[in-house]
Structure formats: C-alpha cells, structure tokens
Structure 1
Amino acid sequence: MKPIFLAAGLLVTLSSCHLTDEKLPYIGESETVTKIVDGKKVTEREYPAIPAFSFVNQDGKTITQDDFKDKIYVTDFFFVTCPTICPIMKKNMLTVYEAYKDSHDVRILSHTIDPDHDTPTVLKQYANDMGVAGNMWQFVTGDREKIYDIGENHYLVTASKDSTAPGGYIHSGAFVLIDKEKHIRGMYDGTTLEGTQKLIQDIDVLRREYE
C-alpha cells in the first residue's frame, strides 16, 4: 500500500504546485515591441492597458486611475433604473464585495451609462440601499461619451444609449477583471452565479501572481 500513498502524496504536491503556478491569460490583441533594457535590446509582447480616466463617484469625489494604483479591480457598466439585468448583476457583485470588502488590494468600479439621471446623489442612495460603505466599491458617473468610449474601446464591453432597448440603454452583463498593470485578465457573466464564483476564484489566482 505504501507506493499508492506515496503516489497520492506526489499527486497532491503536483496539484498544489500547479495551482500556485497558475496564471490568468491576458485579453486583447498584443503587439510586439522592442525596448532597451540594461543596455540590451529586448523584444517582448505588450498587451493593451486601460488608459487614464477621470470620473465622479457617489461621494462627489473625482476618481482616477491613481485611485486603483497597485490594486486589482473588477469593473462593470449599469444604470440605476435598469429594468432588466442590472438588479441580478448588482446582487452578484455584492457577493464579490462581501468577499473582499476588507482586502487592501481589491476594488470594484461600476460605471453608470445614464449620467443624466445617475448623479452622485442618486448613486450614493443606490450604494446605501445595497449596504455598500467605504471606498472599496466605487460607483461613478461623468461625461457620457467618455464612459461609452472606455467601456466599448478599452474594457471591451457594450455600453451605449439605445431607444429601442428596455430602459433606453444597452450594456453588457460582463464583470471585467483588471490587474495592477491595468490589463484585462478575465471576463465573466455577471448575470449568473457560476460566472460570479469563477470571478472570485480568478481574483484569488491573480492575487497569487503578486505574492
């Protein structure tokens, strides 16, 4: 029986190493760049990064990329009066919030796509109604076109006004996982429990990359 136990122990060890070494993929088209590093020419692949941004949060404060420095964060797009997928998305995002609300390195960034209605005051009430406190989860509003641009061209999700859609807007149900270098490392179905649980698993995988 001893060889069987030894084999089982080796399998557990190898499985643990595999989990520790696991890394998430990068999402987006990469490009090959050549740099000079320590006096030597180095060619490597670079992945697109989320550009600088500036929005206003539920407390009326300006939020920029600097507020997410050295943070992993999850982002999504919604609007307060959304009659379709937003309620379930926010219920699922609350699960993420509860899992990481005391963590120093994880944040959530939710963008409204209806800035005319969703003022900081409205967003504050929305956050309060969900029991969200502190600065871990930021709800932001701002210039409509800038919100749509960063959503569709950088986070790679749908975010736009559409008079034919319920509520007058159309947006993706995706939760997007961003690493500390502002690269997209995962996209998840925020309308399902399975997608939300996979996101939480992958946040832990990503956190291990920085240990």
Structure 2
Amino acid sequence: MKAQWIWLTMIIITVAAGCETKKLPYLGEPDVVNKVIDGKEKEEKIYPTIPDFSFTNQDKQTVTQADFKNKVYVADFFFVTCPTICPIMKKNMLTVYKEFKDNPDVKILSHTIDPEHDNPDVLKQYATDLGVAGTMWQFVTGDREKIYDIGQKHYMVSAMEDSSQAGGYIHSGAFVLIDKERHIRGMYDGTTEAGTAKLKEDLKILLKE
C-alpha cells in the first residue's frame, strides 16, 4: 500500500510539472527600480517597451499602437525591391500568417525601409501577390527616420540606407515577437525555416500567458 501511495504521488507531481506554463524571457536592458511591498523594499526590473507609433498601411489607413492593443504580434523590416533576404523572409512569414490568420489575438507588422518607393499602392500589390488579405498582416510605410529610429532603437534590429549593400539598404533578417504589453519576448532568424518554426512555437507559448 505504501508503494502505491508513493507511485501515486510521483504521478501527481509529474502531471503538475507538465501543466506548468513555460514563460518566454523579456529582451532588452531593463531599468531597475526599488519598490516597497508589504513594508519591504524590493528591486523590480522594468523592461523596455515599443513606443507609440503612426504609419500608413497598404490600404492607405493610419496604423498606430492602438491597432495592436491586447495583441501578440510579429514585427520585421524589409523593402519590396530587396534582391537578397526579403523574398526568403516573406516566404517564411507567410507560413506564420497562414497558421495564425484566424486567431484574432495575433498580428504581423512589416515595416518598409524604402518608404520613397514603397508607397501604399506598391505595398498593396506586394501583399496581394503574397496572397495576403484582411488586417491581420499590416505592411506599413511612413517617415524614413521614424522607421529607422523605431527599428534600431526599440525593435533592436538594423534598418538603414547603405549604398554598399545590394539594393542600397541594410536590414536585419530578424522576426521580433512582441507581447500584449509591447515587450520584446523573442527574436528569430527569419531567413531560416528553423528560426521561423521556433517563432511559431514561442508564439503559441506567449498566447497562453
């Protein structure tokens, strides 16, 4: 009987451990603040968040952070005439779109780094050619410096002009996973199937938080 109770206890512990929800890390350099909780001073880490923004999408509509409120989303940077990694990235992101397009809690935000060429009409044709419809995947353009600023300072990716690079621009191949409070929770190699598969796995984890 004792052995049976030990065995039953082990099963319960194993099941409970399996039910624990895995949490993704927070990325970025946090600020450390001191808070008094129940009369005791404790340190708390405050992780950076994506700031407010305003861009124009492929449907010529203004897109702001309000459109992503209470959403988990994936951000990336590209340009339509990119001759190198962008086609691979968009092929991989398309698998994310197809898997999550019916989930109202998920969005994708792709920023062009060539806003002079990539106007809303160009972005609309680009989205149509990919087979993207609806508002789940937003392709946005806007002020060049604001796009570069939010990419490099807040999404922690490279996004800039560089005449030495093919196509005249340099940008990261990263897919950036953002939670509902606008924290960065993961970065993935969008040029590989393995990186994209990891993103989709982590996106499911984040949706459960």
Distance 1:13 1:34 in 2: 37
SS state at 1:33 partner: strand
Counterpart of 2:86 in structure 1 is 86
Counterpart of 2:149 in structure 1 is 149
- Letter matched to residue 139 of structure 2: F
Counterpart of 2:192 in structure 1 is 192
- Letter matched to residue 136 of structure 2: M
Deviation, structure 1 residue 11: 7.8
Deviation, structure 1 residue 198: 0.3
Counterpart of 2:19 in structure 1 is 17
RMSD: 2.4
Tell me the TM-score normalized by structure 1: 0.90
Deviation, structure 1 residue 178: 0.2
- Letter matched to residue 17 of structure 1: C
Larger radius of gyration: 2
- Letter matched to residue 55 of structure 1: F
Residues 51-78 of structure 1 show CA distances to partners (whole Å, capped at 9, x for unaligned) of: 0000000000000000000000000000
Distance 2:55 2:83 in 1: 24
The 5 Å alignment of 1:1-211 reads: 13-14=15-16, 16-18=18-20, 20=21, 22-34=22-34, 43-209=43-209
Moved more, 36-45 or 131-140: 36-45
Distance 1:192 1:75 in 2: 16
Distance 2:14 2:80 in 1: 47
Moved more, 160-169 or 34-43: 34-43
1:37–1:67 distance in 2 versus 1, CA, 3 Å: farther
Deviation, structure 1 residue 31: 1.0
- Letter matched to residue 90 of structure 2: K
Moved more, 38-47 or 97-106: 38-47
Percent identity (aligned): 66
Distance 1:164 1:10 in 2: 61
Consecutive unaligned residues of structure 1, counting only runs of 5 or more, are none
SS state at 2:115 partner: coil
Distance 1:39 1:8 in 2: 39
Moved more, 57-66 or 38-47: 38-47
Distance 1:87 1:70 in 2: 30
Consecutive unaligned residues of structure 2, counting only runs of 5 or more, are none
Moved more, 7-16 or 185-194: 7-16
Q: How many residues align?
A: 206
Deviation, structure 1 residue 161: 0.3
Residues 69-123 of structure 1 show CA distances to partners (whole Å, capped at 9, x for unaligned) of: 0000000000000000000000000000001101010000000000000000000
